[in-house]
């Protein structure tokens, strides 16, 4: 069952820094800036599937929580909270520049989008999983935002690649689907080459406005 805008906004308010005063908004059109603390869905450009996870482990590789692509737009397991990574000075509401390293926290399970050298189940590329928790995160959760084109800050609807810091793999998906998972979910993995299949766009979500400079 999909989470309503108000439910997501409530989750956002509960996790905001105490000095953040702006109101989260639902992004209804392209061009809204993605900021730290926003809750978003990432859409794979070629297949239109959303980056998805749920509390089901891989049956091979690391055995960590699986990550897939899912076609149902309304599914609540496809929401991710954008967090800072290496830049400890980044705070809620800060815009995200091209080249920034971020972490993506799965909203429901609180684990981090992760990658490592285990082989992915279908294609044998780099496995992408969810791992850790609120107080358990490492550099395997760091992804560098690479904006396509001339944009300098990440915006909704903008073509981006997410480049995994530890392995050098790009977040990737394709039309290879799992046969034993309901809903025709497709594989998400990491590949080291830039390809058309590793382009993503921020889609639905609740976006924190850019924080005012004090």
Which backbone phi and psi does 141 adopt, to 5 degrees?
Answer: -100, 5
What pLDDT does 13 receive? Answer: 45
- Give the H or E element holding residue 83: strand 80-84
| 149-168 pLDDT tens trace | 888 999 999 999 999 999 99
Confidence of residue 2 (pLDDT cuts 50, 70, 90): very low
Q: Is the pLDDT of residue 30 over 80?
A: no
- Tell me the pairing of strands 186-191 and 200-207: unpaired
Mean pLDDT, all residues of the chain: 88
Q: Is the pLDDT of residue 137 over 60?
A: yes
Instruction: Map tokens 């929401």 to a residue.
Output: 79
Please answer whether residues 95 and 160 qualify as being in contact, where contact means their C-beta atoms are separated by less than 8 angstroms: no
Tokens of 200: 């993503």
Please answer whether residues 159 and 201 qualify as being in contact, where contact means their C-beta atoms are separated by less than 8 angstroms: yes
What pLDDT does 27 receive? Answer: 52
Please answer whether residues 101 and 81 qualify as being in contact, where contact means their C-beta atoms are separated by less than 8 angstroms: no
Contacts of 187 (CB under 8 A, 6+ apart): 68, 69, 120, 121, 122, 123, 173, 174, 176, 177, 178
What pLDDT does 56 receive? Answer: 93
Query: Based on the number of CB atoms within 10 Å of its own CB, is 2 exposed (0-12), middle (13-18) or buried (19 or more)?
Result: middle
Confidence of residue 7 (pLDDT cuts 50, 70, 90): low
- Give the H or E element holding residue 140: none
Domain 5-28+37-202 has CATH 1.20.1250.20: no
What pLDDT does 11 receive? Answer: 55
What pLDDT does 10 receive? Answer: 47
| 32-65 pLDDT tens trace | 999 999 999 999 999 999 999 999 999 999 999 9
Confidence of residue 4 (pLDDT cuts 50, 70, 90): low
- Mean pLDDT for 125-141 is 96
Instruction: Map tokens 């990491």 to a residue.
Output: 190
What pLDDT does 1 receive? Answer: 40
Confidence of residue 89 (pLDDT cuts 50, 70, 90): confident
What pLDDT does 12 receive? Answer: 52
Q: Is the pLDDT of residue 9 over 70?
A: no
Among candidates 129, 148, 154, 124, which has minimal Cα distance to 196? 148
Which backbone phi and psi does 95 adopt, to 5 degrees?
Answer: -70, 160
| 178-193 pLDDT tens trace | 987 666 899 999 999 9
Confidence of residue 31 (pLDDT cuts 50, 70, 90): confident
Highest mean pLDDT among 8-12, 21-25, 54-58, 102-106: 102-106
């Amino acid at each position: 069952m999909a989470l309503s805008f108000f439910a997501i906004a409530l989750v956002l308010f509960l996790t905001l820094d105490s000095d953040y005063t702006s109101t989260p908004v639902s992004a209804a059109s392209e061009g809204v800036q993605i900021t730290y603390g926003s809750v978003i869905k990432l859409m794979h450009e070629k297949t239109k599937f959303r980056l998805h996870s749920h509390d089901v482990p891989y049956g091979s590789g690391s055995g960590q929580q699986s990550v897939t692509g899912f076609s149902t737009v309304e599914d609540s397991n496809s929401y991710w909270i954008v967090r800072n990574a290496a830049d400890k000075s980044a705070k809620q509401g800060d815009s995200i520049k091209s080249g920034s390293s971020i972490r993506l926290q799965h909203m429901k399970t609180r684990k981090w989008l992760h990658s490592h050298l285990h082989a992915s189940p279908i294609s044998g590329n780099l496995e992408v999983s969810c791992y850790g928790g609120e107080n358990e995160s490492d550099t395997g959760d760091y992804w560098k935002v690479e904006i396509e084109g001339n944009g300098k800050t990440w915006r909704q609807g903008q073509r981006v690649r997410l480049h995994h810091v530890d392995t050098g793999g790009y977040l990737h998906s394709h039309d290879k689907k799992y046969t034993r998972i309901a809903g025709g979910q497709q594989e998400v993995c990491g590949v080291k080459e830039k390809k058309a299949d590793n382009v993503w766009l921020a889609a639905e979500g609740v976006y924190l406005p850019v924080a005012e400079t004090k």
